[in-house]
Amino acid sequence: MFIKNQRTIKNKVSCFGIGLHSGGFVNMSLLPAPIDNGISFRRISTNKSVIGEIKAEYDLVSTTFLGTSLTSRDGKMKIATVEHLMAALWGCGIDNMIVEVDSDELPIMDGSSDHFVFMIESAGIVEQNAGRRFIEVLRKVDISEEGAHASISPNNDFSVQMDIAFNDQIINKQSCSFFANTNSFKIELSKARTFGFLKDVEHLKQRGLIKGGSLDNAIVIGENKVLNNNGLRYQDEFVRHKVLDSIGDLYLCGARIMGHFHGVKSGHTLNNKLLHKLLCDKSAWRMVQYNDHALAS
């Protein structure tokens, strides 16, 4: 069932962590935002002065390799690795939020959305006096690239089907279905962590990436085994994290989607390209808003 009104948080809440790729220390705060603000990222300096803001919008996505990054329209400001927080905001039903951060990258925390969900719940959630907006998918849109596929189809709510396949006996092939009207994001998806292979670590670090990566914020797969001491949180944690990623990426459309997303080996790049294809085709969707207990164009 749809929540009628837009929502934000009641109180400011803050955390401290490490940037996955930069390896630097990051202070981040979540702040309440007014009606129709959407999600925005406010970059501040170490002395708390405001450098600028970036809206969480799909057409500001500039990098999708090992994470989704946004760059301001003037090219002067960047916020990296936004997908796990965006997924948590979707999962907690947050429409309006200001994310204040003193780095070019959000903190990775434990590599999932779990800490962000905890922050949002700790801050408290409040309804606002305005109807929530939805992007209603009117016809199927799909895209394929290098053996991967992604599509979005009409649906009376939001749902995800994700299929992955890796040439690795630990992951192999996995599938996961998530239905917004029956499944709990917090229980089913929020704890699923990002993952990678030990054999790729040195190469990625040479490229200036994953400087802050560790067994504390990612599942690391060695030769036919998971290296993390406590193993997996879900038997199919890998595909659940891919579902989490897709939800975060799709929430960059600026509203909640009424549609069914199906990804086959899909990642950040294809997720964003699908949004571009959908939203550039005005015949494939319409914006609707909850007014007087009914959806209206």
Mean pLDDT of the chain: 95
Do β-strands 148-153 and 256-264 pair in parallel, antiparallel, or remain unpaired? Answer: antiparallel
Instruction: Write down the domain spans for the chain.
Output: 5-130, 134-296
Q: What secondary structure does DSSP assign to 19-37, as a single string?
A: BTTT--EEEEEEEE--TT-
Superfamily of the domain at 5-130: lpxc deacetylase, domain 1 (3.30.230.20)
Residue found by looking up tokens 């193993």 in the block: 231
Query: Residues 225-233: what's their mean pLDDT?
Result: 96
Query: Residues 105-125: what's their mean pLDDT?
Result: 98
pLDDT at residue 1, rounded to an integer? 47
Q: Residue 8 belongs to what H/E stretch?
A: strand 5-9
- Residue 149 is a catalytic residue: no
CB–CB of 68/58 below 8 Å? no
**pTM greater than 0.85:** yes
Q: Please, what is the angle between helix 237-250 and helix 83-91, to 10°?
A: 80
276 Cβ contact list (under 8 Å, min separation 6):
58, 59
Query: Residues 130-135: what's their mean pLDDT?
Result: 96
User: What are the structure tokens assigned to 212, written together?
Assistant: 């802050």
pLDDT at residue 293, rounded to an integer? 44
The pLDDT tens digits for 84-96 are 999 999 999 999 9
Buried b (16+ CB within 10 A) or exposed e, 121-136: eebeeeebebbbbbbb
Query: Hey, CA dihedral for 73, 74, 80, 85, is it positive or negative?
Result: negative
CATH for 134-296, options being 3.40.50.300, 3.30.365.10, 3.30.1700.10, 2.40.30.60: 3.30.1700.10
User: What are the structure tokens assigned to 100, written together?
Assistant: 């204040």
Look at residue 273 and tell me whether its pLDDT is greater than 50.
Answer: yes
Which residue among 84, 115, 241, 268 is the active-site one?
A: 268
